[in-house]
Amino acid sequence: QVQLVQSGAEVKKPGASVKVSCKASGYTFSTYAMHWVRQAPGQRLEWMGWINAGNGNTQYSQKFQGRVTITRDTSANTAHMELSSLRSEDAAVYYCARASNSQWLARDIFDYWGQGTLVTVSS
Amino acid sequence: DIQMTQSPSAMSASVGDRVTITCRASQGISNYLVWFQQKPGKVPKRLIYAAFILQSGVPSRFSGSGSGTEFTLTISSLQPEDFATYYCLQHNNYPWTFGQGTKVEIK
**B26-85 pLDDT tens trace:** 999 999 999 999 999 999 999 999 999 999 999 999 999 999 999 999 999 999 999 999
- Check: CB of residue A113 under 8 Å from CB of residue B43: yes
For residue B18, what pLDDT is reported? 98
**A53-84 pLDDT tens trace:** 999 999 999 999 899 999 999 999 999 999 99
Residues of B with CB under 8 A from a CB of A: 1, 31-32, 34, 36, 38, 43-44, 46, 49-50, 53, 55, 87, 89, 91-92, 94-101
- Check: CB of residue A105 under 8 Å from CB of residue B91: no
Question: Using alpha carbons only, what angle is made at residue B66 by residues B27 and A104, rounded to the nearest 5 degrees?
Answer: 65
Count Cβ–Cβ pairs < 8 Å, chain A vs chain B: 62
Q: Do B98 and A47 touch (CB under 8 A)?
A: yes
Q: Is the model's pLDDT at B106 over the cut of 90?
A: no
**Alpha helix positions (H), B34-94:** none
Q: Within 13 Å of residue B42, how many CA atoms lie on the same side as its CB? A: 11
Q: Within 13 Å of residue A92, how many CA atoms lie on the same side as its CB? A: 21
Question: What is the sign, positive or negative, of the torsion defined by CA atoms of B23, B85, A37, B31?
Answer: negative
From residue B9, how far is each of A26, B20, B63 by CA, in Å? 37, 12, 19
Pairing of strands B45-49, B33-38: antiparallel
For residue A88, what pLDDT is reported? 97
Give the phi and the psi of residue B81 in degrees, each rounded to 5.
Answer: -80, -5
Q: Do B98 and A45 touch (CB under 8 A)?
A: yes
For residue A25, what pLDDT is reported? 98
Rounded Cα gap, residues A42 and B94, in angstroms: 24
Please give the average per-residue pLDDT across A88-113, as a whole number: 94
Could you tell me which chain A residue has the CA closest to the CA of B51?
Answer: A106
**A13-35 pLDDT tens trace:** 999 999 999 999 999 999 999 99
Q: Do B46 and A111 touch (CB under 8 A)?
A: yes
Q: Is the model's pLDDT at B107 over the cut of 90?
A: no
The average confidence (pLDDT) of chain A is 96
Q: How deeply is B68 buried, as exposed, middle or buried, from its count of CB atoms within 10 A (0-12, 13-18, 19+)?
A: middle
- Please give, rounded to a whole number of angstroms, the shortest distance from the CA of B50 to a CA of chain A: 6
Q: How confident is the model at residue A98 (pLDDT cuts 50, 70, 90)?
A: very high
For residue A77, what pLDDT is reported? 98
Rounded Cα gap, residues A80 and A56, in angstroms: 12
Q: Do B87 and A45 touch (CB under 8 A)?
A: yes
Percent of chain A with pLDDT over 70: 100
